[in-house]
Amino acid sequence: MKLTTRGRYGLRAVIDLAVHTDDEAVALSQIAERQGISMNYLEQLIAKLKKSGIVHGIRGAQGGYVLAMPADEISVGDILRALEGDLSPVDCYELNNSDTPCSSSDICVTKYVWKRISDSINDAVDGIMLSDLVAESKKVQAEAGITQVNQSKQTC
């Protein structure tokens, strides 16, 4: 039940992008450096965000990325689902529309458990907007006077 680095790095990258957006596009190299994430890897993550319509890429010199929508219209759920796929704890045909139908869905009891978990996760992440995190981030950074993440490995 752990998120992968895709979700963790990707969310940090989007927050970083949102925080550092003025009129110009933000280059991925800047986000990668500030967040201490390999740029090559970050490219793959931002590709998922682009595919889901959360960010928009601008090619060429002076290019970069911008949010495709206002930060208060992007939920953490949108971001995490783009990066991790659906946030359900199981691949269940009835919950998500999983690829293969489930042979024992008629006598399956655990599906009630999975649905409760799934709903609670999605409710939680859909209730937090990117703008909330941007506001929090600006507040915290103003207090600490730091914009760059520490070198040492982060687990979250």
Partner DNA sequence: TTAATATCCGAGTAATTTAATAGGAATTAA
Partner DNA sequence: TTAATTCCTATTAAATTACTCGGATATTAA
Answer yes or no whether residue 82 interacts with a second copy by CB under 8 A: no
Closest CB to a second copy among residues 3, 68? 3
How far apart are alpha carbons 149 and 73 in whole angstroms? 26
* CA-CA-CA-CA torsion sign (57, 27, 6, 44): positive
Contact characters 114-143, DNA, x per CB under 7 A:
------------------------------
The count of other CB atoms within 10 Å of the CB of residue 92 is 18
Angle between helices 76-84 and 110-126 (to 10 degrees): 120
How far apart are alpha carbons 100 and 112 in whole angstroms? 19
Residues that bind a second copy (CB under 8 A): 1-3, 7-8, 11-12, 15, 76, 84, 87-93, 95, 98, 100, 102-104, 106-114, 116-117, 119-121, 123-125, 127-128, 133, 136-137, 140-141, 144, 146, 149-156
Residues that bind DNA (CB under 7 A): 4-6, 9, 27-29, 38, 40-41, 43-44, 46-47, 50, 57-65
